[in-house]
Amino acid sequence: MMEITEGSHAVAEAVRLCRPQVVSAYPITPQTHIVEALADFVANGQLDAEYITVENELSALSACVGASAAGSRTYSATTSQGLMLMAEVVFNAAGMRLPIIMSIANRALGAPLSIWNDMQDSISLRDSGWLQFYAEDNQEATDLHLLAFKVAEDNSIQLPAFVCFDGFILSHTYEPVDMLTQEDVDKYLPKFNPAERLDAADPISFGMYATPEYYLEFRYEMDQAQKRAKDVIAKAGKEFGEMFGRDYSALIEGYRLEDADTAIVAMGSICGTVKDAIDEMRTAGMKVGLLKIRVFRPFPAEEIAKMLSHVKRVAVLDKNISLGAKGATAMEVRDALYGSAIPVKGYVLGLGGRDVRKRDIKEIVAFSEKGPNDQFYGLRKELI
């Protein structure tokens, strides 16, 4: 049923329908509305979960580690500074192969302190082993939670997942979202039934230490699970499409890309602006298209190379920067296209909530034909 609702509320509702048994989170702007809504659901009997009000984010995710290892479906949400405080547990949860789902309402990292949107937080943890989904709008933000639980908990994957959506731009925006019913979700998402759990009837040890004779293979297995996740996402995304009419089988999506000379590559809510700019550029006769990355981990390198094989140039938009190097997406797209002659230019933009408008996208398209390979876009020259 279509409802005009706030992004955070739509996400909280989707999480409720997924029936997590243990929720543990700590408030931080702009994630707060999600955890407040979930607390309300529990207080009013709409969600039958233990809600652990921890003293910080490190404990929030640690409690999820314990609950997930004990065999319960678990959920958390955070952003920015909170995610950084959790970082040690983020790597740990993935290493223990615990399929925790965590919403990230993407926000910049301090210093300087900023509560506004970019993707530095989740991108900085791209090596942690978590699957990473990025939503373009609130419908995707909602749906991707169901997909994430289904994929993460698949016995062939057993990895945790971030569902990322842009702080404020999506989390605090009201727009129409098709809300699923409990019946729908129960049909789609099976009960969590992990192969191994903490259980006195069948004692096992979790989180042992590994000598150099064993460690490398643990990491290899995690990497293999990430790669297997491509197929599992394809299957679960297709099933979602068959049941609810929105197909998420593809890790990437093209928009007016078939005959494009210039391809823009982007993630998250900026894709909406890019699509509008493309429509206008197309009207003016320019052959521009978009490649949207919905799943950043596992990274769809082969899929990207295939979808971009015919273009003349690529402009990658990054709301993050690996300082001293480049935007993460630009580096990875360039790596995906290694061996082809297609030039890839990277644009770091929108950091700390700096607005990105249609005219910026058009300017970037113009730059991509000349200009340097990698640059910050939209700098205020008078401040430098």
Partner 1 sequence: MAEKTCELFDCGHRACGGCGAALAARLVTKAAGKDSIFVSSTGCMEVFSTPYPETAWKVPWIHSLFENAAAVASGIEAALKKQGRKEKIVIMAGDGATFDIGMICISGAFERGHDFTYICYDNEAYMNTGIQRSGATPYDASTTTSPAGKCSFGNKRPKKDMPAILAAHGAPYVATTSIAYPADLLQKVEKAIATPGPSYVQVHAPCCTGWGFEGEQTIAIAKLAIETGLWVNYEMIDGKITKVKKVVRKPVEEYLKTQKRFRHLFKPIRQDAEIAAIQAIADKNAEKYGIDIKLNKKE
Query: Which residues sit at the interface with partner 1, rule CB under 8 A?
Result: 21-22, 24, 48-50, 52-56, 58-60, 62-72, 74, 88-89, 92, 96, 198-200, 202-211, 214
Q: What is the rounded distance in angstroms from the CA atom of residue 121 to the CA atom of residue 162? A: 11
**Closer to partner 1 at the Cβ: 174 or 214?**
214
CB atoms inside a 10 Å sphere around CB 224: 12
Q: List the structure tokens of 76.
A: 């958390």
Closest CB 63 distance from partner 1, rounded Å? 3
Instruction: Return the number of the residue (90 or 185) whose C-beta is nearest partner 1.
Output: 90
Whole-angstrom Cα distance, residue 135 to residue 295?
9
Task: State in angstroms the smallest separation of the CB of 15 from partner 1.
Answer: 16
Task: Output the smallest distance, CB 12 to partner 1, in A.
Answer: 19
- Residue 67 CA to residue 211 CA, distance in Å, equals 27
Rank residues 65 and 83 by Cβ distance to partner 1 and give the closer one: 65
- Decide whether 24 or 138 has the Cβ nearer to partner 1: 24
Closest listed residue to residue 73, CA positions, set 55, 47, 39: 47
Among candidates 95, 83, 131, which has minimal Cα distance to 299? 131
CA-based Rg of the chain, rounded to a whole angstrom? Answer: 21
Nearer to partner 1, 59 or 124 (CB): 59
Distances (CA, A) of 124 to 119, 149, 262, 307, 328: 8, 22, 28, 26, 9
Shortest gap between Cβ of 188 and partner 1 (angstroms)? 22
- Residues 18 and 33: their CA atoms lie apart, in Å, by 18
Nearer to partner 1, 205 or 283 (CB): 205
Give the nearest distance from C-beta 242 to partner 1 in angstroms.
Answer: 31
Angle at 218 between CA 213 and CA 224, to 5 degrees: 135
Closest contact distance (angstroms) between CB of 204 and partner 1 is: 6
Residue 134: its H or E element: strand 131-134
C-alpha span between 78 and 303 (Å, rounded): 30
Of 21 and 322, nearer to partner 1 (C-beta) is 21
**Closer residue to partner 1, CB minimum distance, 20 or 289:** 20
Nearest C-alpha neighbor of 89 from the set 111, 60, 117: 60
Q: DSSP labels for 95-159?
A: HTT---EEEEEE---SSSP--S--SHHHHHTTTSS-EEEE-SSHHHHHHHHHHHHHHHHSTTT--
**Token code pair at residue 154:** 């698949």
Q: Which token pair is 2?
A: 């279509």
Q: What is the SS3 assignment for 167?
A: coil
Q: How far apart are CA 67 and CA 99, in angstroms?
A: 11
Minimum distance, C-beta of residue 347 to partner 1, in the bound complex (Å): 38
CB of residue 213 vs partner 1: minimum separation in angstroms?
9
Nearest to 271 by CA among 372, 123, 125, 166: 166
Residue linked to tokens 């099976």: 190
**Least gap, CB of 197 to partner 1 (angstroms):** 8
Tokens 């394809």 — which residue? 234
Nearer to partner 1, 35 or 304 (CB): 35
Smallest gap from residue 356 Cβ to partner 1 (A):
38
Closer residue to partner 1, CB minimum distance, 211 or 283: 211
